[in-house]
């Protein structure tokens, strides 16, 4: 199995030994029969393999972990009830008071809130290296470096190999949130990054019907994340949700190709429209990091497109958004359905206005999550909304 498209279907999947069922069954059970007292003791002592209790491990969830580990080229993975549970388990499992965490922003708002809120309350120093650069921010106390493979909402990239190299030289663990790219476009572990995480809620699920998160990397790093996140925090993914992600990932390569095709068509159309001032899309030659995007992303430039209206006003954004027919106004992303949002009043409404403007998020900005509908229909819808 060399091609990702084949692995997305088959990895982690084995016909059920009890029945031969090809589709991984939903193991809807909390506990598993231990057998005899001595067999139970061996399981709990870690001397025998097997399932005990679904918060620790569950066969449906394990199949999903194996599939995602395979796609990211990781030795191990651990799934959680949300991307946020994955982030907090990663922090709590690997850092301790006195450690320093350096991030390159802008980060997903919830992640930055988590790092600053929970991290700092637990004695972890959180340093924003976005402006000053990573090299200048690293110190001997730096234990973790955190980046996203495509940033929200302006879709910038970080050179992952360089981030990994700098982090490693300082003995820090590098983490990449690969939610916006998925392993179809970027595989951070191959660039030397230590841990990759996803909000599976977005592209991996792909149908807007399940919340989940996952972290993948070496067995040594995943073990403490699993122990803390499942054993102590209890953020385990439910087996029924794991089934939806297993099913979603089978079509991820096909969906991602359609997202990329539609997004490029939409970005090119918007760029040529007189009511639009700027389009942020890594696949456009006008993107400031187009060369890095071509080097680092494989098979496409993603399904997210952000644009700024020539009239940088909330009323103008409302005029366009409220007229869209195929794009639904919503904050999630990565669904087969196209979604649109106004970052200044939704995803970035909790960011103070000055910081929001510094991050380039104006009142006339609109973020699109381009679905898998026919690109011509999406372009026509945007055309009629822009007027």
Closest Cα to residue 267, out of 139, 356, 375, 107? Answer: 375
- Point out the catalytic residue in the list 108, 203, 243, 281: 108
Minimal distance, residue 201 CB to ligand PLP, in Å:
4
Q: Does 151 bind ligand PLP (CB under 6 A)?
A: no
Q: Which is nearer to ligand PLP, 142 or 178 (CB)?
A: 178
Footprint (CB under 6 A) of ligand PLP, residues 57-86: 82-84
Q: Which residue has the tokens 């190999």?
A: 161
- Point out the catalytic residue in the list 55, 295, 314, 376: 55
Q: Which is nearer to ligand PLP, 276 or 351 (CB)?
A: 351
Report the C-alpha gap between 127 and 164 in whole angstroms.
17
Q: What is the DSSP letter of 371?
A: -
Closest Cα to residue 177, out of 258, 240, 236, 114? Answer: 114
Candidate ranges 3-11, 105-113, 227-235, 305-313; the one touching ligand PLP (CB under 6 A)? 105-113
Q: Which is nearer to ligand PLP, 111 or 154 (CB)?
A: 111
Q: Are 9 and 248 contacting, i.e. CB atoms less than 8 angstroms apart?
A: no
Is 202 a catalytic site residue? yes
Q: What tokens appear for 151 in the block?
A: 């940033």
Q: Does 156 bind ligand PLP (CB under 6 A)?
A: no
Footprint (CB under 6 A) of ligand PLP, residues 212-231: 213
Q: Name, in order, each residue with C-beta under 8 angstroms of 229's C-beta and a sequence gap of 6 or more.
A: 78, 80, 85, 86, 88, 89, 90, 92, 93, 235, 236
Is 108 a catalytic site residue? yes
Q: Which is nearer to ligand PLP, 195 or 276 (CB)?
A: 195
Q: What tokens appear for 241 in the block?
A: 């949700």
Q: Does 369 bind ligand PLP (CB under 6 A)?
A: no
Q: Which is nearer to ligand PLP, 191 or 211 (CB)?
A: 211
Residue choice 110, 192, 224, 360 for contact with ligand PLP (CB under 6 A)? 110
Residue choice 100, 148, 335, 381 for contact with ligand PLP (CB under 6 A)? 148
Which residue number places its CB atom closest to ligand PLP? Answer: 83
Q: Which is nearer to ligand PLP, 54 or 152 (CB)?
A: 152
Report the C-alpha gap between 112 and 92 in whole angstroms.
15
SS3 of 231, please?
Answer: helix
Is 337 a catalytic site residue? no
Residues 24-63, mask of contacts with ligand PLP (x by CB under 6 A): ----------------------------------------
- Point out the catalytic residue in the list 202, 226, 255, 367: 202
Minimal distance, residue 2 CB to ligand PLP, in Å:
29
Report the C-alpha gap between 227 and 220 in whole angstroms.
11
Candidate ranges 70-78, 88-96, 104-112, 116-124; the one touching ligand PLP (CB under 6 A)? 104-112
Residue choice 24, 154, 182, 211 for contact with ligand PLP (CB under 6 A)? 211
Footprint (CB under 6 A) of ligand PLP, residues 160-199: 177, 179-180, 199
Q: Does 100 bind ligand PLP (CB under 6 A)?
A: no
Q: What tokens appear for 133 in the block?
A: 């650069």
Q: Name, in order, each residue with C-beta under 8 angstroms of 38's C-beta and a sequence gap of 6 or more.
A: none
SS3 of 239, please?
Answer: helix
SS3 of 187, please?
Answer: coil
Minimal distance, residue 198 CB to ligand PLP, in Å:
8
Q: What tokens appear for 370 in the block?
A: 């381009």
Minimal distance, residue 317 CB to ligand PLP, in Å:
21
Report the C-alpha gap between 281 and 261 in whole angstroms.
12
- Point out the catalytic residue in the list 70, 99, 177, 335: 177
Closest Cα to residue 147, out of 120, 111, 118, 200? Answer: 111
Q: Could you write out the DSSP letters of every residue in 72-113?
A: HT-SEEEEESSHHHHHHHHHHHH--TT-EEEE-SPPPHHHHH
Minimal distance, residue 86 CB to ligand PLP, in Å:
8
SS3 of 245, please?
Answer: helix
Report the C-alpha gap between 171 and 41 in whole angstroms.
38
In the complex, which residues of this chain contact ligand PLP (CB under 6 A)? 82-84, 108, 110-111, 148, 177, 179-180, 199, 201-202, 211, 213
Active site residues: 55, 108, 177, 202
């Amino acid at each position: 199995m060399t091609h990702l498209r084949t692995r997305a279907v088959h990895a982690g999947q084995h016909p059920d030994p009890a029945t031969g069922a090809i589709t991984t069954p939903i193991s809807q059970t909390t506990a598993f029969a231990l057998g005899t007292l001595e067999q139970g003791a061996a399981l709990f002592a870690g001397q025998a393999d097997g399932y005990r209790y679904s918060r620790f491990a569950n066969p449906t969830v394990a199949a999903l972990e194996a599939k995602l580990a395979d796609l990211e080229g990781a030795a191990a993975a651990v799934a959680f009830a949300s991307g946020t549970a994955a982030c907090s388990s990663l922090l709590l499992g690997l850092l301790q008071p006195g450690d320093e965490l350096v991030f390159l922003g802008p980060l997903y708002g919830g992640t930055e809130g988590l790092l600053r809120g929970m991290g700092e309350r637990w004695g972890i120093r959180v340093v924003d290296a976005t402006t000053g650069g990573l090299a200048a921010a690293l110190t001997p106390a730096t234990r973790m470096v955190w980046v996203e493979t495509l940033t929200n909402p302006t879709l910038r990239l970080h050179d992952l190999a360089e981030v990994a190299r700098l982090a490693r030289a300082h003995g820090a663990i590098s983490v990449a949130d690969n939610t916006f790219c998925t392993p179809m476009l970027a595989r951070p572990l191959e660039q030397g990054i230590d841990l990759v995480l996803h909000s599976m809620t977005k592209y991996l699920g792909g149908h807007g019907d399940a919340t989940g998160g996952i972290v993948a990397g070496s067995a040594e790093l995943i073990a403490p994340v699993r122990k803390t996140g499942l054993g102590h925090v209890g953020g385990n993914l439910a087996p029924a949700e794991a089934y939806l992600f297993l099913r979603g990932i089978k079509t991820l390569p096909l969906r991602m190709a359609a997202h990329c095709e539609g997004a490029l068509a939409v970005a090119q159309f918007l760029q040529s429209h007189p009511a639009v001032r700027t389009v942020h899309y890594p696949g456009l030659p006008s993107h400031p990091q187009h060369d890095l995007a071509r080097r680092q992303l494989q098979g496409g430039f993603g399904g997210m497109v952000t644009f700024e209206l020539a009239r940088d006003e909330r009323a103008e954004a409302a005029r366009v958004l409220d007229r869209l027919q195929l794009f639904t106004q919503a904050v999630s992303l990565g669904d087969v359905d196209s979604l649109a949002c106004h970052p200044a009043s939704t995803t970035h409404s909790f960011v103070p206005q000055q910081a929001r403007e510094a991050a380039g998020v104006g009142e006339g900005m609109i973020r699109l999550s381009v679905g898998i509908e026919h690109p011509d229909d999406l372009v026509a819808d945007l055309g009629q909304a822009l007027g």
